[in-house]
Amino acid sequence: MREKRGKSSSKSPQEKKFDLGNVFSSAEIVLVGKDLSALWRSKGTRALLMLLPVILVVVIPLVYSVAISFLPTADDLTLPKQIAALMSGVEKYGPRRQWMAAFTTLLCPMLFLCVPIICSVLAASKVFVGEKEGHTLETLMLSAIDEKSILHAKVTCCTLLSVAISFVSFVAFTITISVAELLMGAPFFLNLEWIICLLLFVPVLALFSVVFVSWEFSRVHSSGEALQTMGYLMLPLLLLYLGQFTGAFRITVPLLLGIIVVLAVLSIVLFNVTSRRFQPEFLFDVPREP
């Protein structure tokens, strides 16, 4: 009997397999699927979610690559010293390779990081404000599902969609830029900063953008107003990457990691604040009893 007990006790601490039900309830999983289906059925939202990333990570790099391919090889067309100082090892390349390296190192991360912001705001404006305008959110909040589960499901839906589109956009960007770099003999663009942007910055930025829209949700009355928050989110990103051309600072790995930590903390704080205000009396014009 003791041997049998010993054998059974040795088998009990088995490795637990990942179960989606431990993170999301069955109702939340259903809501995520419903919102993803609603986003896909909306032709306008679907077109913007596909078109805008293509413009940012395929069309603009392609136009730039074609433009600098006609650049003369004269030495006076090399990068200005102020821009060359932001990178290392570009002095040994010709003008075309230098301008290509500067584009992929200094500007393309900014274009790429605009993708999760745009996709998050577009999806969140449809999922939150669009349902509010269609009076379907009010019906959903009167159901048996609690408000925090609804918020959790909608934030998860928009964040996952934004991250997925960003990853696909990065693949398209990599193919476009790799072909251009191969034809020009420019160095491969991928470095540690790019890896951090892809694996850490994109998910956190997508989550923060969605939570920011949900935080503004109670003060927004139309999808157009919700889309205006895109400018508030993109402006700091543009200032960050364009500001380094002034020579005051340079975007480094520690700086990126610090920004990621700050955005992650702000996302948690805003989500908790939003979850307390995600109530019918705050979101809808509920008539008061006399």
Whether residue 4 is predicted with pLDDT greater than 60 in this model: the reply is no
At position 131, the amino acid (one-letter code) is E
Whether residue 63 is predicted with pLDDT greater than 70 in this model: the reply is yes
Give residue 290's pLDDT band: very low, low, confident or very high (50, 70, 90). very low
Look over the chain and give the mean of its residue pLDDT values, rounded to a whole number.
83
Average pLDDT over residues 98-117: 92
Whether residue 288 is predicted with pLDDT greater than 60 in this model: the reply is no
Whether residue 9 is predicted with pLDDT greater than 70 in this model: the reply is no
SS3 63: helix
| C-alpha to C-alpha distance for 201 and 12, rounded to whole angstroms | 39
| C-alpha to C-alpha distance for 229 and 217, rounded to whole angstroms | 10
Cα 62 to chain centroid distance, Å, stands at 22
Predicted local confidence at residue 72, as pLDDT = 73
Q: Is residue 276 within 8 Å of residue 214, measured between CB atoms?
A: no
| C-alpha to C-alpha distance for 202 and 204, rounded to whole angstroms | 6
Q: Which of 7-16, 38-47, 61-70, 131-140 has the lowest mean pLDDT?
A: 7-16
The model's pTM is 0.85
Cα 52 to chain centroid distance, Å, stands at 13
Per-residue pLDDT tens over the stretch 132-153: 766 677 677 777 778 888 888 8
Query: Which among 92, 196, 231, 208 is positioned nearest to 159, based on CA atoms?
Result: 208
Structure tokens at 90: 């570009």
Predicted local confidence at residue 29, as pLDDT = 86
Per-residue pLDDT tens over the stretch 220-247: 777 777 788 888 899 999 999 988 888 7
Q: Which residue has the tokens 């702000």?
A: 266
Q: Which residue has the tokens 């700091």?
A: 236
Whether residue 126 is predicted with pLDDT greater than 80 in this model: the reply is yes
Query: Which among 164, 190, 195, 192 is positioned nearest to 177, based on CA atoms?
Result: 190
Instruction: Count CB-CB contacts under 10 A for residue 23.
Output: 11
Q: Is residue 161 within 8 Å of residue 40, measured between CB atoms?
A: no
Per-residue pLDDT tens over the stretch 146-197: 888 888 889 999 999 999 999 999 999 999 999 988 888 777 888 899 999 9
Predicted local confidence at residue 89, as pLDDT = 72
Domain ranges of the chain: 26-281
Question: Which alpha helices (H) appear in the chain, and where do they start and end?
Answer: 2-11, 26-41, 43-54, 60-69, 81-84, 95-102, 108-124, 131-133, 136-141, 147-184, 192-196, 202-215, 223-243, 253-277, 280-283
